[in-house]
Every structure is written in C-alpha cells, then in structure tokens.
Amino acid sequence: LVEVKEHLSKINNILRRGEEGTPKRALVRKKYSDHNVQRTHGDDERANDISRSMFETMTTFPECVDRLFEHCVGIINRDLRRLGLATIEMVVHEKRNMNQANYNKVVIVTNEEASTVVGRAGDGIVTYPYQWDDSILGGRFLGVDGKWNCLNTSPEDCCATIKQSVPNPDTKGKYVECHIFVPFGGVGNRRRDDRIFVNLSSDGRVHEAPIIT
C-alpha cells in the first residue's frame, strides 16, 4: 500500500509539473478517478480499492504519434524516468498488412468477460480491412463492405457466421480464421504496469499513442 501511495504521489507531481510547462503526460484513469489518498487514510477497505485501481490506470505517450520509432523510444525512456518506472517491457507491433502471416485472421473484440462481441467501436461491428482473393469467386470484400454485425452474439457464434460467409480459400490456399481479442484487464489478458505497447506503420513511424497496460 505504501508503494501504491508513493507511485500515485509521483504521478500527481508529474501532472502538476506538466501544467507549469513541462511536457504533459496523458494519464487516463478508467475508474476511481475521484480517489484522494489523504482522504482515505485509515480506511483500509477504500485504500485497498486504490491499490486495485492501479491496474485500471493507463499511461499513454501521445508525443510519439507520427514520430520515428527511435525518437519515440527516447520520449518513452525520458517519461518513464519521470514516472519512476525503470524496468519495463516494450512490445512492438507492426500495423497489419496483407504481407503478414496472419493476414487471413478476422479480429473479434469482446467484452472483458469474453462472453459477448463488442467490436472496436463498441457497436458489435467486426471488420476485415482487406480484399479477399477468393480462389473461386475472385477478389472481393468480405461480409458487407468488409463488415459483420455481431452485436449481442458470442465470439464463437460470430466467428462461425464469418466463416460461413467465406467458405472458399484464397489463392494461397488459406481459409478465413478468427482471432478473439479480450481487452486489457479482461479474462486471460490481465492489465500490467510493466509493459508498453508500440504500434508501428510500415514506414517505421508510430501510428497511435503507445500505452502502458
């Protein structure tokens, strides 16, 4: 608990310095944003809530967007030192493209319980951004303009619907497959404070804000 309080104090100090001119750190607290450590002193139950809420806090690095990866690493290392996070794992992903081995996978985003499809925008819509080079029907966009409506369905049922709509392999012999993604903090994908994700475009630039989660 002492370590949690010290960590929160460091983050609040950084935010105050940011308001005075230091480059701001984008801190997004999904829950417990009204917590005040001093107010909860002596309240063990509420203090425990604060401890758990540390895993609901995500730190992003918006200054990295559109910068080359090497420049982004410098920004991240600088800000990690300010946050007091010396040891952290950096996971780098390249933005999806048709040349990757998993090009045939449709990503299905679920809720945290992995029981229902929510989609990237929360509307239950699942998308596949590429044209499918169907070995029988020729090149075409899948679903309806590359989309399936899986609102209020299970990820398994959604995947079955997608596969039924694409029965043929492509010209490389691959069939459509599903990749079920559970949000960070959900079942089997716990949130961590020692890992940062960086997504790169094909030109080596960061195409969205890296995130600690």
pLDDT at 88: 80
Positive or negative CA dihedral for 200, 101, 162, 142? positive
Predicted local distance difference test score (pLDDT) of residue 99? 83
Number of Cβ within a 10 Å radius of residue 104? 20
- pLDDT in the model for residue 1: 47
* pLDDT in the model for residue 31: 39
Q: Please, are residues 213 and 58 in contact by the beta-carbon 8 Å criterion?
A: yes
pLDDT value of position 109: 96
Which residues of the chain, if any, have pLDDT below 70? 1-58, 86
pTM score of the predicted model: 0.61
Give pLDDT tens digits for 161-174: 999 999 999 999 99
- Matching residue, tokens 């200054």: 63
**Rounded Cα gap, residues 30 and 55, in angstroms:** 10
